[in-house]
Amino acid sequence: MTTFSSMLTSSQPELGAIERHLDGLPAPERLRQVLALGPSLQRSLWELASAGKQLGPEYLVPADAPPLALHPFEGRNSLPAFSRFAKVFYRQPDGGLAGYNRAWIAWLIGNGYFTCAPHPQKPEHELRIDYTILPQHGLPEVGPVRSNDLFPSRFVYGGMRDDLRRVAADVLIGRAFDRAGKAMDAWFVLCRWNQPTAART
């Protein structure tokens, strides 16, 4: 059986073929295959996706989406622990894109609110999640917006930025960058999951 993982480990992985494979899967199976990617395959996918299609804010949240409606993406990162999470995106009343991180340890590290916009150097092909620029509007049912530089959030989100590249219609690959702009050995995959919902944790 051909899987996302097996396509990435082939001698010459091809992004177009991977996109067609992922787009053709039922949503539950697509999510299963995306979340099966470990650190080495996430790293390979990041490099492969440098040739990906254009990526704009409307990929995450449609331009006509109601303010504060949630658009979740389930994710897995390359860390040895606490690897499962979700990034949940929403439009603010002013139209700007924002989001937060949903994880079982959010009670300790905070919700990691962020804003998201086209990458300043690669605006047509990458999006940048910025934990240093906070949204003006949080979600009451999620929790207040608080600085990511406060303890203990700063150990996870402080000064961080995540860059995103498109893989398929519902799949992204990301990489973390530190406050100095240096690329970290930290990647993550995201898969769109379910329909927009009212705010929830």
Residue 32's φ and ψ, nearest 5 degrees, are -60, -45
- 40: in domain: yes
* pLDDT score of 57 more than 70: yes
User: Mean per-residue pLDDT for 188-200?
Assistant: 72
The percent of residues above 70 in pLDDT, for the chain, comes to: 96
Angle between helices 15-23 and 27-35 (to 10 degrees): 140
Distance CA 168, CA 34 (A): 11
* pLDDT score of 8 more than 80: yes
**Among the ranges given (34-48, 51-65, 141-155), the one the predictor scored with the smallest mean pLDDT:** 141-155
Give residue 18's domain range.
4-192
The domain that contains 68 carries what CATH number? 2.40.128
Peptide bond just before 152 cis, omega within 30 deg: yes
pLDDT at 198: 43
| Average predicted confidence (pLDDT) for the chain | 92
* DSSP labels, 150-195: STTGGGTTTT-EEEEEEEETTEEEEEEE-TT-PEEEEEEEEEE-S-
Question: Which of 85, 79, 1, 82 is closest to 42 using CA atoms?
Answer: 79
- 199: in domain: no
The percent of residues above 90 in pLDDT, for the chain, comes to: 76
pLDDT at 60: 98
- 146: in domain: yes
pLDDT at 107: 64
Distance CA 125, CA 122 (A): 6
User: Mean per-residue pLDDT for 45-67?
Assistant: 95
Contact 46, 33 (CB under 8 A): no
- 112: in domain: yes
Three-class SS state of 88: strand
Distance CA 16, CA 52 (A): 8
- 178: in domain: yes
| Alpha helix (H) residue ranges in the chain | 4-8, 15-23, 27-35, 39-48, 57-60, 106-109
- 163: in domain: yes
- 197: in domain: no
Q: What is the pTM of this model?
A: 0.93
Work out how many domains the chain is built from and give that number: 1
Contact 161, 118 (CB under 8 A): no
User: In this predicted model, what pLDDT tens digit does every residue of 144-180 receive, in sequence order?
Assistant: 899 998 888 888 888 999 999 999 999 999 999 998 9
pLDDT at 124: 92
pLDDT at 200: 40
User: In this predicted model, what pLDDT tens digit does every residue of 84-130 receive, in sequence order?
Assistant: 999 999 999 999 999 999 987 776 777 899 999 999 999 899 999 99
- 52: in domain: yes
